[in-house]
Structure 1
Amino acid sequence: MPASLSSLMTNQSNQTAAMSMKGLSVLQPLFFLIILLNLMGLMPYTFAQSSHLMMTAPLAFSLWASLILSSMLMNPRQFLAHFLPSGAPLWLNPSLLLIEMMSTLLRPITLAFRLAANMTTGHIIMSLMALALSANLTSLCTPMILIPQIFYSMFEAAICLIQAYIFCLLLTLYAEDHSSL
């Protein structure tokens, strides 16, 4: 597991450095915060904070809004030009404008829901497996439930790392639309 964590860390650092984005130095601490919150949810009798929209929605919205506001303030003309692809026919511009605006406005919602839904789903499956294990603790079926539970717990730990990486990767991709970058 430590090798995969260092690989994810290195990849995230390289992406941020390669894009030379000054404002995205917040991504590395964010990456570790999300990993920590996700992994804390794997502890017994806890529920991951990143499974709650009350945590993921403000986080996603504030980071997305800072990118949008910064882009609008740095270069308003280029920001607005982003909504109309060059070379599009004039009659298609109103539809393209609406589609691009909806796409941009839905980004923080999908970012928040993706993290919360994936973490919640994994933890619910783990809880159901633990419930089945506790119900059959004295039976001969215990090894048939315990072994998949152990492997699924390891799988869920990997998913926690991957979800943190995806959250930060999507923010990096959204930052590529920034007007001044």
Structure 2
Amino acid sequence: MIKGKNIDIRPIAERGKLVRLHGVECFKVMLFATVVATGVNTVLLKTAPLMDIEVGAGGLFGLLQMYFGGIFHDLGFSAVWSATVLPQPGSLGFYVFFHSLIGLLMAGLYVYSVEKYLAGSGIKKGAVFALLSWLINSILVLPLLGKGFAGSEVLDSVGLIYFFVANGVYGVLLGFLYEKLSDKQLVNDGGE
């Protein structure tokens, strides 16, 4: 502190503790970050074909359909879903709905489980999270669908790279926005 003045010129880290939002406020920040990150990711994936880039999006839905589609059909879920005004599987509306739902679940996993264990800035944390989710998709989901590691059996190198980058953009945006919007700085801790 400068004598006689109420101006604290100490570095921010020395002035107060960095605290995170909790509860509803944390969820609101996560939801906003999810909408932005998933929205940008969706646009990237859906505009890829306009540039003649095949990215093979929809792997997780395909996997769920492969393993659980018959069960859902037998239990009547397919008939109930078809009878509603909800978007039907295969439509752009359904893709956006399902992709947004997965984006929200992934963001919840990041915010409530993974983020606190990662070191570095929000951008670095988001990049690591994106890499981990890409690896899970590449090692488990796509091979189980018969598409090979990272979809290498059905995608060319441009598609593989584009999908990797689009996934990275989601993670980096999520990490950056969550960090910037959820941190609150306590400016005065009462000490000198």
Higher helix share: 1
Q: How high is the TM-score relative to the length of structure 2?
A: 0.30
